[in-house]
């Protein structure tokens, strides 16, 4: 609600503060703290994400320049570079991870009725990971290669609203397929993955949980065709087969039947071979589902370009995870604001506009009114015509 608040305060008003206090209490975040609380830390880091700050000194300079406005923005403590750096280093990152999960739950409820590119009643997820490169000398705990450090962001993206539902931050040496061990699948949902997650023992566990997977097959897959279903080759389909694995280990790991679909993309002329344990959807729907996996790559591109997760304000593992989780919570918060205020602008536009208006007192809905994006051509009746 707008009551003469700053734009930053209007955005923060959508945060469930009771849930935040619960997360802080769970990990004793404010223990022996008098001045700069966990909420102050979160708001300063959220401000840095919204306004594209580059360093702790940058955050300190910008906020101290608006010292008289900080109280009304919710920041009660004195903003100091050293205090913020110590908070990022010491305070448990799980506070902000749990709070981000709370925001994700809220956002998923708001976007539950949204459609995506495939007409599907079931929930569909895209699973993938992205690597964030680091300097090995500065981040020795994130060892990746001999001369390189990195962290991986493993993400499960809900295709309805492009909301990340599961995120795990690991060092760069962790393989994508191991994430399936910690992932709790939902019965009846579809999980779209790349070939990096092809492990038939783990896929069989998903199958036993009544979950469906769609992924690409490897070229050396050994199988026996049981039945070939008729397909319309004008749609790009080449075959729709029911198969059984014949490899020495794969037949033991996945003893049930599988569905193999071969599809040729007319635009790129590339051939794709898909594996799935779903026999009800049409083969073109399976191909369209896999095409939606590209949304998770767009999500990674968006957060890397518009949020601060490539350059970090601290070098410890706790500081890095804190910054990433707060960045994720800001992304989800923008999605919540967009949905609740029924804004037609994209999330990119919303974040760009918020970055230069956080200290204004204009209502957010008014900033994105349609007429403000149009050039108003007015005529001045006092202007005389030269050719009368």
Task: Find out whether 363 and 10 touch, Cβ atoms under 8 Å.
Answer: yes
Task: Note whether residue 253 is domain-resident.
Answer: yes
Give pLDDT tens digits for 180-234: 999 999 999 999 999 889 999 999 999 999 999 999 999 899 999 999 999 998 8
Task: Note whether residue 103 is domain-resident.
Answer: no
Give pLDDT tens digits for 231-259: 998 888 999 999 999 998 999 999 999 99
The reported pLDDT for the residue numbered 372 is: 53
The reported pLDDT for the residue numbered 196 is: 87
pLDDT tier, 368 (very low <50, low <70, confident <90, very high otherwise): confident
Tell me which of 283, 305, 335 is where a domain ends.
Answer: 283
Task: Note whether residue 209 is domain-resident.
Answer: yes
Reported residue count of the chain is 388
For residue 157, the cross-strand partners are 126, 164
Give pLDDT tens digits for 370-381: 545 444 444 454
Task: Find out whether 118 and 124 touch, Cβ atoms under 8 Å.
Answer: yes
pLDDT tier, 267 (very low <50, low <70, confident <90, very high otherwise): confident
Q: How far apart are CA 175 and CA 197, in angstroms?
A: 9
The reported pLDDT for the residue numbered 386 is: 41
The reported pLDDT for the residue numbered 383 is: 46
The answer to whether residues 323 and 278 belong to one domain is no
Structure-block tokens of residue 284? 């073109």
How many other CB atoms are found less than 10 A from the CB of residue 147? 8
Segment 358-376 mean pLDDT: 74
Task: Note whether residue 352 is domain-resident.
Answer: yes
Task: Note whether residue 87 is domain-resident.
Answer: yes
3 state SS of 146: coil
Task: Note whether residue 116 is domain-resident.
Answer: no
Nearest to 97 by CA among 347, 337, 332, 340: 332
Q: Which backbone phi and psi does 298 adopt, to 5 degrees?
A: -65, -35
Give pLDDT tens digits for 129-143: 999 999 999 999 999
The reported pLDDT for the residue numbered 3 is: 59
Segment 342-361 mean pLDDT: 92
Judge whether residue 382 has pLDDT over 70.
Answer: no
The reported pLDDT for the residue numbered 370 is: 58
Task: Note whether residue 189 is domain-resident.
Answer: no
The answer to whether residues 276 and 328 belong to one domain is no
Task: Note whether residue 237 is domain-resident.
Answer: yes
How many other CB atoms are found less than 10 A from the CB of residue 26? 12
Q: How far apart are CA 50 and CA 354, in angstroms?
A: 7
Give pLDDT tens digits for 11-43: 999 999 999 999 999 999 999 888 899 999 999
The reported pLDDT for the residue numbered 168 is: 95
Q: Strands, DSSP E only, in the chain?
A: 124-134, 143-145, 148-158, 163-171, 190-193, 212-216, 223-229, 237-245, 258-264, 271-276
Structural domain containing residue 214: 195-283
The answer to whether residues 229 and 273 belong to one domain is yes
For the chain, what is the mean pLDDT? 90
The answer to whether residues 276 and 331 belong to one domain is no
The answer to whether residues 271 and 322 belong to one domain is no
Tell me which of 283, 306, 330 is where a domain ends.
Answer: 283
Give pLDDT tens digits for 157-173: 999 999 999 999 999 99
Segment 354-359 mean pLDDT: 92
3 state SS of 164: strand
Number of domains within the chain:
2
Cα-based distances in Å from 262 to 199, 228, 257:
20, 11, 17
Helices (H) and strands (E) in the chain, counts: 14, 10
Q: Which backbone phi and psi does 117 adopt, to 5 degrees?
A: -65, -20
For residue 272, the cross-strand partners are 263
Interhelix angle 17-26/38-51, nearest 10 degrees: 120
Q: How far apart are CA 102 and CA 7, in angstroms?
A: 23
Structure-block tokens of residue 338? 């967009």
Task: Find out whether 63 and 47 touch, Cβ atoms under 8 Å.
Answer: yes
């Amino acid at each position: 609600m707008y009551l003469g608040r700053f734009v930053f305060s209007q955005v923060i008003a959508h945060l469930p503060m009771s849930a935040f206090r619960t997360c802080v209490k769970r990990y004793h975040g404010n223990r022996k703290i008098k001045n700069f609380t966990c909420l102050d830390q979160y708001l300063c880091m959220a401000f840095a994400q919204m306004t594209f700050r580059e360093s702790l000194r940058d955050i300190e300079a910008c906020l101290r320049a608006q010292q008289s406005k900080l109280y009304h923005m919710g920041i009660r403590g004195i903003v100091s570079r050293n205090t913020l750096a110590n908070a990022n280093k010491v305070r448990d990152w799980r506070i902000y991870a749990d709070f981000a999960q709370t925001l994700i739950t809220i956002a998923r409820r708001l976007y539950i009725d949204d459609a995506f590119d495939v007409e599907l009643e079931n929930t569909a997820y895209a699973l993938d990971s992205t690597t964030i490169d680091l300097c090995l000398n500065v981040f020795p705990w994130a060892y990746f290669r001999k001369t390189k450090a990195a962290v991986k962001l493993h993400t499960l993206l809900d295709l309805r609203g492009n909301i990340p539902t599961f995120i795990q931050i690991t060092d760069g040496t962790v393989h994508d397929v191991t994430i399936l061990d910690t992932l709790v699948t939902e019965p009846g949902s579809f999980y779209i993955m790349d070939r990096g997650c092809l492990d038939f023992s783990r896929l069989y566990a998903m199958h036993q949980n009544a979950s469906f997977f769609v992924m690409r097959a490897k070229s050396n897959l050994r199988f026996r065709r049981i039945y070939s279903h008729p397909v319309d080759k004008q749609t790009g389909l080449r075959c729709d087969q029911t198969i059984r694995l014949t490899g020495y280990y794969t037949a033991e790991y996945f003893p049930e039947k599988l569905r193999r679909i071969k599809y040729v993309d007319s635009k790129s002329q590339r051939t794709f071979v898909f594996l799935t344990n779903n026999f009800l959807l049409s083969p073109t729907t399976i191909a369209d589902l896999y095409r939606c996996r590209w949304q998770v790559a767009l999500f990674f591109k968006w957060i890397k370009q518009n949020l601060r997760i490539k350059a970090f304000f601290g070098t410890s593992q706790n500081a890095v995870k804190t910054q990433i989780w707060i960045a994720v919570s800001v992304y989800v918060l923008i999605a919540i604001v967009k949905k609740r205020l029924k804004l037609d602008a994209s999330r990119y536009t919303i974040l760009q506009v918020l970055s230069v208006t956080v200290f204004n007192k204009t209502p957010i809905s008014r900033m994105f009114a349609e007429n403000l994006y149009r050039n108003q051509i007015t005529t001045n009746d006092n202007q005389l015509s030269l050719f009368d």
